[in-house]
Amino acid sequence: MGRVKQTKKMAKQRFAQIQKRISLKDPRIVAKIDPKKAERIAKKKKAEEEKRLVPQVSSALFFQYNTQLGPPFHIIVDTNFINFSIKYKLDIIPSMMDCLYAKCIPYITDCVLAEVEKLGRKYKVALRIMKDPRFERLPCTHKGTYADDCIAQRVSQHKCYIVATNDKDLKRRIRKIPGVPIMYIAHHRYTIERMPDAYGAPRE
């Protein structure tokens, strides 16, 4: 038996039938598949979408090196850093300069000042140091007086700061933010971590 010669009309009909076929990924078919398989497909699709979302990296960073850091250094000071400085009889600004071998500008946020004011008369020396005109004030727009959140948010937005703290929890949080050095007190002197060797930061 010979082959049936395909006419133009027959070819059009066949093409129309092919077009009518529904894709296997069509939601009408996916709904008919068992719910476990549908859930797996949905999870896979969600994972693919999440992979595409790449967090924006600051233009100040060259890998782990922060190009915005340089003299004069801008240092955000935490409450316990001042308390430890008083305890070990360290003059804040000269000690910072001894650590970094450059001019340092200490900054106090409104919430850090409010924290010390709440602590009462016991910390009046720390309060007097904070109100020194050499300390720059950073105004806070957020609600509440929890300084750790404020400092972490500020340094993640602006990469020009060094954080001076002895608080273990805050140090752990700051270490997760790339390009932000931490100044702390160790062996009765100021030490800094995550700073380029070019500035001669002392090592432990």
In angstroms, rounded to a whole number, what is the distance separating the alpha carbons of residues 181 and 104? 14
pLDDT digits (tens, 9 = 90+) for 79-113: 999 999 999 999 999 999 988 888 999 999 999 89
When mean pLDDT is compared across 13-22, 31-40, 74-83, 129-138, the lowest value belongs to: 13-22
For residue range 142-199, list pLDDT tens digits in order.
777 788 888 998 998 888 899 999 999 999 999 888 888 999 998 888 988 877 553 4
Task: State yes or no: pLDDT of 62 exceeds 70.
Answer: no
Residue 15 parent element (H or E): helix 8-20
Contact 103, 72 (CB under 8 A): yes
SS (H, E, C) 138-184: ECCCCCCCCHHHHHHHHHHHCCCEEEECCCHHHHHHHHCCCCCCEEE
Gap between the Cα atoms of 66 and 121, Å rounded? 40
Residue 34: other Cβ atoms inside 10 A: 8
CA-CA distances (angstroms) from residue 5 to 1, 2, 13?
12, 9, 14
Average model confidence (pLDDT) for the chain?
Answer: 80
